[in-house]
Amino acid sequence: MRLALTQAQMASESGEVPTGCVIVDAEGNIVAKAHNQTEVLHDATAHAEMIALSQAFAAIGNERLIGTTLYVTKEPCPMCAGAIALARVSRVVWGVSDPKRGGASVFDIFAHPGMNHHPETVAGLMEKESLDVLQAFFRARR
């Protein structure tokens, strides 16, 4: 999660909402790391998780990321949660939950009976640090 926080800080420094993501394989090797790039790429889908998933697919050589853990500083949105489930990521860990657009806490995508894969989820890892990065970013913008 510390590496995901570093990615979030990189996003903040480039004017992006500070969300960072790291994906590790079953042995703990980092297979992807990314941060939000929606502003710089002019792409609404360029969330940290989406970019990291693409990197992980290439690194592993498979569209199924079985055995991986995805760490992200903010709870995945519905788009990212759907992609994570379809990629069959085994475990999703996030720092701060998103009470407005959380793919798990609001939309329940990871546990939805219509999904063919239900990753293990862990919320609140390094929550304070993740929240601090987000709050500092939005305070500076106001």
Residue 133 pLDDT > 90 = yes
Contact 15, 39 (CB under 8 A): yes
pLDDT at 142: 78
Computed over every residue of the chain, the mean pLDDT equals: 97
Contact 86, 114 (CB under 8 A): no
Residue 90 pLDDT > 90 = yes
CA separation for the pair 82, 55 (Å, rounded): 17
CA separation for the pair 1, 38 (Å, rounded): 21
pLDDT at 141: 85
User: Number of helices and strands (H, E) in the chain?
Assistant: 5, 5
Beta-strand (E) ranges in 5-87?
Answer: 20-24, 30-35, 69-74
Told to judge if 39 belongs to the known catalytic residues of this protein, a careful annotator would answer: no
pLDDT at 8: 98
Q: Which two tokens stand for residue 6?
A: 């570093």
pLDDT at 63: 96
Banded pLDDT at 132 (limits 50, 70, 90): very high
Point out the catalytic residue in the list 13, 49, 75, 127: 49
Banded pLDDT at 38 (limits 50, 70, 90): very high
Mean pLDDT over 102-111 rounds to: 98
Residues in Cβ contact with 114 at an 8 Å cutoff, skipping those fewer than 6 apart: none
CA separation for the pair 71, 121 (Å, rounded): 10
> Could you give the percent of the chain with pLDDT greater than 70?
100
Residue 112 pLDDT > 90 = yes
Can you state the percent helix, strand and coil of the chain, rounding each to 5?
A: 35, 20, 45
